[in-house]
């Protein structure tokens, strides 16, 4: 049965677009995955325009959430969107806000995130920069279920990215994004097919 997914994104939207390309435009991914809507918490975030251009049939919605004081309203309206589109999964693709413990506990194993490091290393913001500045020789990408603990939910899959001596912050960012675009669709397909720890 098709699984309806809502994507949450805050910024550039390369991961959101990659998922839309795979599951909606080119349909090279699993036909079981239906992207019902994309929600951004940032007004004017590039992701909104990109989705509107690439896939005009997918609703691209702005739902404000800038400061913590807006979280309760954001989550309540998001629950309305989840009901409206009968969403089975919430896919975080560069969503840079924290969801409350109360919200997350309503959707166990239904919220999936991608993080640009090999968790548990370099949690939080600016993970690529932190890895580059620390001087690790290998970093990577982690796809995991979201729990109330930040960047600490059960891991679905990881991809290693080697940091060469010749790498700059920019070249490393490009490598990490390439790895993200490679593994996120596959990780989502695998998780939604129930092949990984899943309470379905």
Strands (E), 123-177: 138-145, 155-162
148 among known catalytic residues: no
Instruction: State yes or no: residue 127 binds ligand GAR (CB under 6 A).
Output: yes
Instruction: Please write down the long-range contacts of 59-63, taking CB distance under 8 Å and 24 or more positions apart.
Output: 61/37, 63/39
* CA–CA–CA angle 140, 146, 147 (5° rounding): 125
Burial of residue 9, with CB atoms counted within 10 A of its CB: 0-12 exposed, 13-18 middle, 19 or more buried: buried
First and final C-alpha spacing in the chain: 13
Q: Which of 71, 115, 144, 175 touches ligand GAR (CB under 6 A)? A: 115
Q: Among residue numbers 18 through 47, which ones bind ligand GAR (CB under 6 A)?
A: none
Q: How many residues belong to the site for ligand GAR (CB under 6 A)?
A: 13
Cα gap 4→121, rounded to integer Å: 31
Q: Which residue is nearest to ligand GAR (CB)?
A: 94
Nearer residue to ligand GAR within complex by CB, 64 or 194: 64
- CA–CA distance, 54 with 35 (Å, rounded to integer): 13
When asked if residue 114 is in the footprint of ligand GAR (CB under 6 A), the reply is yes
Q: From 7-15, 24-32, 67-75, 80-88, give the range in contact with ligand GAR by CB under 6 A.
A: 7-15
Q: Is 12 in the site for ligand GAR (CB under 6 A)?
A: yes
**Which is nearer to ligand GAR, 110 or 144 (by Cβ)?**
144
What is the separation of C-alpha 61 from the centre of its chain, rounded to a whole number of angstroms?
16
Does residue 140 bind ligand GAR (CB under 6 A)? no
Binding status of residue 139 toward ligand GAR by CB under 6 A: no
**What CA–CA distance (Å, rounded) separates 67 from 58?**
27
Q: Does 178 bind ligand GAR (CB under 6 A)?
A: no
Among residues 5, 6, 8, 14, which is the contact residue for ligand GAR, using CB under 6 A? 14
Interface with ligand GAR includes 15 (CB under 6 A)? yes
Active-site residues, by number, are: 115
- Residues within the interface to ligand GAR (CB under 6 A): 9, 11-15, 93-94, 114-116, 127, 180
């Amino acid at each position: 049965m098709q699984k309806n997914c809502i994507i949450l994104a805050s910024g550039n939207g390369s991961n959101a677009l990659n998922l839309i390309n795979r599951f909606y435009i080119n349909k090279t991914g699993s036909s079981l995955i239906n992207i019902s809507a994309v929600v951004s918490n940032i007004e004017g975030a590039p992701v909104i325009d990109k989705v509107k251009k690439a896939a005009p049939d997918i609703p691209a919605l702005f739902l404000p959430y800038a400061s913590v004081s807006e979280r309760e309203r954001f989550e309540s309206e998001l629950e309305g969107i989840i009901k409206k589109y009968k969403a089975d999964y919430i896919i975080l693709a560069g969503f840079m806000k924290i969801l409350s413990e109360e919200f997350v506990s309503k959707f166990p194993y239904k919220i999936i995130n991608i993080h640009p490091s090999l968790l548990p290393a370099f949690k939080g913001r600016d993970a690529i920069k932190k890895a580059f500045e620390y001087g690790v020789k290998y970093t990577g990408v982690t796809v995991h279920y979201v729990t109330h603990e930040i960047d600490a939910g059960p891991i679905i899959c990881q991809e290693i990215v080697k940091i060469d001596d010749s790498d700059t912050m920019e070249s490393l960012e490009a490598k990490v994004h390439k790895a993200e675009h490679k593994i996120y669709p596959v990780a989502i397909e695998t998780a939604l097919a129930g092949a990984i720890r899943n309470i379905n």
